[in-house]
Chain A
Amino acid sequence: MVDILFIGLSLGSILLLIALGLSITYGAMGVINMAHGELVMIGAYTAVLAGIYLGANIFVAMPLAFVATALLGWLIEAVVVRRLYGRLLDTLLATWGVAILIQQAVRLELGLTFFGIQIPGLGPGLQNVSVPEILSGTVAIFGEEVNAYRTFIIFVTIVLTVLTWWILYRTPIGTQVRAIIRNPQMAAACGIDVKRVNAMTFAYGSGLAGVAGVMMSGFKTVFPDMGTPMVVDGFLVVVVGGVGSLLGTVAAAGLLGEINGVFASVTNDILARAVVFATVILILILKPAGLFSFKGR
């Protein structure tokens, strides 16, 4: 039983890792970033390329991926998202276009195939990243042997969640972000540079996606289409949790992860996913604004 709950916990932490960045961009900025899954994919590819060109393991790839995807996110904000504030559903469509562009860019090796240049590690094929020695095998927790890499993912998720919480609730910039979540016009009137804070929020959220990508690369195949299912999962977690609520995102990720883990152990993976979707539909019908939502937004 403990091992099933542990698998559920690790699934939940992966969901949380993906949803964390999505949650702060959606909550703070009212932007549905459908390209978030592609940022996860870029993070995974950073791990692949870092392994090939730098001989680096995923510990080194994590900060690299954070920087790379944060920069990409900053670029997406500046070029596309900035023009669409206040048009929620249009951000969904435009970032879907961005997602297709990024996918194809990776598949076409960022356009270099047109010039006959090959980059090993990019392109349409499948890639794998090996897990460092120290994280393979099992570790003993509460007398149970559990997968070391899954434990590591849970650890990274906890660290990033606490970091995000700390930034949001204990720093001046976090206060500004929360003010924007509550009421962007009022925040602007109080002298907060909404545009700058939004750009930083988006870049930070994108960076979190990059780190999630590095984590994913350790146990999943890396390929250009890997992002779409992830953005769906992340999005469901954010909406079920309640827009703009960090606590809600954590709770929803844990809940959906456990449901997935438990049902996968008694039925099969496909039905477990179906049960997750059914749960999401049910929760949204009963509590249309999500599990934890504030009023008066």
Chain B
Amino acid sequence: MSETLQRRLEILAYATFIAVILILPAFADIFWLNRFAKYLVYGMLGIAIAMSWGYSGILNLGQGLFFGAGAYMLAMSLKLASPTSLAQGSDTPVPDFMLWNAEPGAPTDLCCITGGSWLWMPFQWVGFGAFMGIALPVLLAFTIGTVIFRQRISGVFVAIITLATVLLVRLLVIDLQPITNGFNGLTDLAWLTIGGFEFDPYLLATYYLIAGILIAVLIGARLLVATRAGLVLQAIRDDSNRARYLGFDVPKYQTFFFAVSAGIAGLAGMLYVIVAEFASPTFMDLTFSITMVVWAAVGGRNSLLGACIGAILINTIEASISETEMFVEAWKAIIGLIFVLVVLFLPRGLAGFAQDASAWVVGRLNRGEGSPASAVGQTRNQAAE
């Protein structure tokens, strides 16, 4: 009885969240919506973290790698589509920064303007950039995951390897100045155009594009973790040895969900490029990757919706207190304080708090039956440590 009530409450929470982000445009101006669209993208990153950390027990301190990979892939296509790239006096578009980095007398063409610039050629078709925005993160995650999970590396060592990987790639992107524009990243991008329709970042349609994809990802991810594979995954998280003895191919499940999480992050990276109109190596800074993990921790790592809301909430709070006169200098310290307090006193995040609260209410309604949902939550939390 109480189980079904819990389930209904969860569905209610999802429905409320979806309704809120769909209705928001009625109450806000377009500039605010553009900013909020970025937070929705961060919410998608929260989902990706919850999937790899909360559901798989894989703490990825390098999620920025997948976000950055997705962002750069689409940004390369949008860069080639931008007016400045088209106006370089050659038959094919050439990014302006390549001319600045080129040897004098090099042909103004993607084939050979700088070493490796031919890598950009397929990106002249936006569809290729959009495809690679998901394919590359998934491929990277599949490779990394296959290697580390076959070696039975777990816990903090996964965190270190992913952390070192993202920093490694960030340095390579910076060092490959002639084809990536180094520190400056890709700016001056065109708007995404699908079938003649331009997704101007300050357009209601763009907000709905992002909100719609977020909702689809949220529901898809929720359904995925409820499948048999998702249940096996949680069993692996709780006790990987037991799952191994039961005959499950543990690395296969871990790699699969790691790759799904990377794909979501790559998708988020592409959407970020559409609303923010740039891609830069800061996406692969360590600070950004850890910040994502903290969003998920605050929202609730064991809940996809919780982590998503956590990311949106923290960024909204951050934006509003950084604009409050009194806290204009101290807002970062306040965010730091929130992190510490949540980890100390709400180890399962806001979602865990909400689950406990609802379990308590349900328990009160079915007096005498206890609150099984809360007990399940407790063991889950301990196992995730």
Interface residue ranges, A against B (CB under 8 Å): 32, 34, 80, 83-84, 86-90, 92-94, 96-101, 103-105, 107-108, 111, 113-114, 228, 232, 235-236, 239, 268, 270-271, 273-274, 277-278, 280-281, 284-285, 288-289
User: Which listed residue (B151, B160, B168, B333) contacts A105, Cβ 8 A?
Assistant: B333
Q: Mark B149-173, 1 if CB is under 8 A from A, else 0.
A: 0011101110111011101100110
Query: Which residues of the partner chain B approach A89 to less than 8 Å between Cβ atoms?
Result: 59, 155-156, 159, 385
The 8 A CB mask of B42-79 against A (1 = contact, 0 = none) is: 00000000000000000100000000000000000000
CB atoms of B160 and A236 under 8 A apart: yes
Asked if residues A284 and B339 are in contact (CB atoms below 8 Å), the reply is: no
Task: Kindly state the separation between the CA atoms of A54 and B65 in the bound complex, as whole angstroms.
Answer: 46
Cβ–Cβ contact A285 & B161, under 8 A: yes
For residue B163, which residue of chain A has the nearest CB?
A232
Cβ of B174 and Cβ of A86 under 8 Å apart? no
B147 touching A285 by the CB < 8 A rule? yes
Given A101-B340, A108-B333, A32-B156 contact (CB < 8 Å): yes
Determine if A273 and B160 form an interchain contact, defined as CB atoms under 8 angstroms apart: no
B336–chain A nearest beta-carbon distance, Å: 3
The answer to whether the Cβ of B332 comes within 8 Å of any Cβ in the partner chain is: yes
Contact A277:B171 (CB < 8 A) given known A87-B385, A239-B160: yes
User: In chain B, what residue has the closest Cβ to A124?
Assistant: B329
B:287-311 near A, CB below 8 Å: 287, 290, 293-294, 297
Question: In the complex, A93→B336 CA distance in Å?
Answer: 10
Nearest B residue to A270, CB-CB: B175
Contacts A100-B336, A268-B175 aside, 8 further interface pairs with beta carbons under 8 A come to A32-B156, A83-B344, A98-B340, A104-B333, A239-B160, A270-B174, A277-B171, A280-B161
Q: Can you list 11 A-B pairs with a CB-CB distance of less than 8 A?
A: A89-B156, A89-B159, A93-B293, A97-B294, A97-B336, A98-B336, A104-B330, A236-B164, A274-B171, A274-B172, A280-B160
A111 to B330, CA, bound (A): 8
Most central of A88, A93, A104, A113 by chain B CB within 10 Å: A93
Question: Chain B interface: which size bin?
Answer: 35 or more
Interface residues of chain B, those whose CB is within 8 Å of chain A, are: 59, 147-148, 151-153, 155-157, 159-161, 163-165, 167-168, 171-172, 174-175, 286-287, 290, 293-294, 297, 329-330, 332-333, 335-340, 343-344, 347, 385
Q: Which residues of B contact A273 (CB under 8 A)?
A: 167, 171
**Residue in B156, B293, B338 whose Cβ sees the most chain A Cβ within 10 Å:** B156
- Say whether, besides A80-B344, A271-B171, A274-B175, A284 and B59 are in contact (CB < 8 Å): no
Which residues of B sit under 8 angstroms from A235, Cβ to Cβ?
160
* B344/A278 in contact, CB under 8 A: no
Given contacts A232-B167, A280-B160, A280-B164, contact A86 B385 (CB under 8 A): yes
Assess the A88–B293 pair: CB atoms within 8 A. no
With beta carbons under 8 angstroms apart, the residue of A32, A84, A239 that contacts B344 is A84
Asked if residues B160 and A100 are in contact (CB atoms below 8 Å), the reply is no
For A101, what are the chain B residues with a Cβ–Cβ distance below 8 Å?
333, 336-337, 340
- Whether B164 pairs with A277 at a CB distance below 8 angstroms is yes
Q: Looking at the complex, which one of A34, A92, A96, A277 makes contact with B168 (CB distance below 8 Å)?
A: A277
Complex CA–CA separation, A107 to B333 (angstroms)? 10
- In whole Å, how far is A190's beta carbon from the nearest beta carbon of chain B? 25
Shortest Cβ-Cβ A-B pairs, 10 listed:
A97-B339, A100-B336, A104-B333, A97-B340, A277-B168, A94-B343, A101-B336, A274-B171, A277-B164, A288-B153
Decide: A88 near B164, CB < 8 A? Known: A113-B329, A285-B147.
no
Q: Are B333 and A100 in contact (CB under 8 A)?
A: yes
A11 to B95, CA, bound (A): 39
Q: Are A281 and B161 in contact (CB under 8 A)?
A: yes
Q: In the assembled complex, which residues on chain B have CB atoms less than 8 Å from the CB atom of A93?
A: 293-294, 297, 339, 343
List A contacts of B338 (CB < 8 A): 97
Q: From B335, which residue of chain A is reached at the shortest CB distance?
A: A100
Contact check, B385 vs A96: say whether CB atoms are below 8 A apart.
no
Q: In the complex, which residue of chain B has the Cβ closest to the Cβ of A284?
A: B161
Residues of A within 8 A of B165 (CB): 277, 281
Q: Return the chain B residue nearest A225 by Cβ.
A: B287
A228→B385 contact, CB < 8 A? no
Task: Collect the chain A residues with CB atoms within 8 Å of residue B287's CB.
Answer: 228
Task: Give the residue of A87, A99, A108, A285 whose beta carbon is less than 8 angstroms from that of B347.
Answer: A87
In the complex formed, the residue of A with least CB distance to B347 is: A90
Contact of A228 with B286 in the complex, beta carbons under 8 Å: yes
Considering the chains assembled together, what is the distance between the CA atoms of A105 and B167 in angstroms?
27
Structural contact, B171 and A97, CB atoms closer than 8 A? no
Known contacts A96-B290, A232-B167, A281-B165; is-contact A84 B343 (Cβ 8 Å): yes
- Bound complex: CA of A87 vs CA of B59, how far in Å? 13
CB contacts (< 8 Å) of A108 on chain B: these are 329-330, 333
Query: Contact at B151–A285, with CB atoms within 8 Å?
Result: yes
